Amino acid sequence: MTALRVAADRDRCIAAGMCALLAGSVFDQDDNDGRVLLLDSTPATNHAAVREAVETCPSGALTLDES
Ligand code: SF4
């Protein structure tokens, strides 16, 4: 199975919230500033939603490493 590793750069995040909407088991938003919180950097499931979240993020704050 392909391993998937996600990273989130909170300095780039503009708190748009798309990631948390698309993959809520992996991404959340900080209650204070709305920026991304990474809940799971190596999700075992939900890979399609995680990929979509990374591609949809408007600020390029999310990156994906698949190997
Ligand atoms: S989609 Fe991108 S910009 Fe929006 S909250 Fe998530 S990481 Fe931040």
The yes-or-no verdict on residue 1 having pLDDT over 80 is: no
d(Cα 13, Cα 3) in Å, to the nearest integer? 24
The tens digit of pLDDT for each residue in 13-61 reads 999 999 999 999 999 999 999 999 999 999 999 999 999 999 999 999 9
Residues contacting residue 34 through CB under 8 Å, at least 6 positions apart: 15, 17
Does the beta carbon of 18 lie inside 6 Å of ligand 1?
yes
Atom of ligand 1 nearest to the CA of 20: 6
pTM of the model: 0.94
Atom of ligand 1 nearest to the CA of 16: 4
Does the beta carbon of 14 lie inside 6 Å of ligand 1?
yes
Output the CA–CA distances (angstroms, integers) from residue 10 to 22, 37, 40, 44, in the order listed. Answer: 18, 8, 15, 23
Q: What is the pLDDT of residue 2?
A: 75
